[in-house]
């Protein structure tokens, strides 16, 4: 079994043509979804609620860690949240930021090497994007400041890759 060593995980985002920026001080990430929406089709006289399956809602991403105001990556995420600018699927035509990668293991010499990212391989779409949708900061008197970011995946899903 190839499991990923958690301490080798990371989160990266391409911020220029040649730079993959590691989002500093992050300690966990998760992807949820996609999920199927339902609508109620119950009517008078129904003794049990009835539902119909409808549209698919894309994935959501959460990542957390320690707040670092000197981190270029964390400052970029705050800027993307404020501006509403998406993180694009793929690089090209000098479109940045691009290629958010959630690494399970960034060491190619270890089992479980690979990451989750948007790709054009399956759907052929180039409009796939990730929007930063929220941020939460926390601080306690006896600990380090914490930060949590949430994001929405639009027009496709994150997929596993090793290349």
In a domain, 47, yes or no: no
- List, for residues 30-49, the tens digit of each pLDDT value: 999 888 899 999 999 999 99
Q: 54 in a domain, yes or no?
A: no
Domain with residue 139: its CATH number is 2.30.110
> According to the model, what pLDDT value does residue 7 have?
78
Would you state the pLDDT for residue 9? 86
Whether residue 45 is contained in a domain is answered as: no
**Kind and range of the H or E run holding 81:** helix 72-83
pLDDT of the residue at 109 = 77
- Residue 132 placed within a domain: yes
Question: C-alpha angle with apex 158: 155 to 159, nearest 5 degrees?
Answer: 125
Domain residues for the domain of 13 are 6-32+59-160
Checking if the pLDDT of 145 tops 90, the result is: yes
Q: What is the mean pLDDT of the chain?
A: 84
pTM of the predicted protein model = 0.79
- 135, part of any domain: yes
| Domain presence at residue 147 | yes
Determine the Cα–Cα distance for residues 29 and 60; give it in Å rounded to an integer: 11
- 52 assigned to some structural domain: no
Which DSSP helix (H) or strand (E) runs through 114? strand 114-117
129-138/146-154 β-pairing: antiparallel
Per-residue pLDDT tens over the stretch 56-91: 888 999 999 999 988 888 988 999 999 998 888 765
User: What is the count of structural domains for the chain?
Assistant: 1
User: CA 116 to CA 157: how far, in whole Å?
Assistant: 9
Give a yes or no: residue 37 inside a domain.
no
Render pLDDT for 80-136 as a digit per residue (tens, 0 to 9).
Answer: 999 998 888 765 545 667 788 998 887 777 777 888 888 765 545 566 789 999 999
The pLDDT assigned to 42 comes to 94
């Amino acid at each position: 079994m190839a499991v990923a060593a958690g301490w080798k995980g990371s989160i990266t985002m391409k911020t220029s043509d040649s730079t993959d920026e590691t989002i500093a001080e992050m300690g966990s990430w998760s992807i949820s979804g996609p999920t199927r929406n339902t609508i109620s089709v119950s009517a008078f006289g129904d003794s049990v609620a009835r539902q119909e399956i409808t549209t698919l809602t894309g994935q959501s991403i959460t990542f957390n860690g320690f707040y670092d105001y000197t981190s270029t990556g964390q400052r970029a995420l705050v800027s993307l949240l404020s501006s509403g600018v998406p993180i694009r699927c793929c690089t090209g035509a000098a479109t940045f930021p691009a290629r958010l990668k959630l690494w399970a293991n960034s060491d190619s010499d270890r089992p479980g090497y690979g990451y989750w990212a948007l790709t054009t391989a399956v759907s052929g779409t180039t409009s796939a994007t990730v929007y930063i949708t929220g941020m939460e900061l926390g601080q306690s008197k006896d600990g380090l400041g914490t930060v949590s970011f949430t994001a929405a995946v639009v027009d496709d899903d994150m997929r596993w890759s090793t290349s």
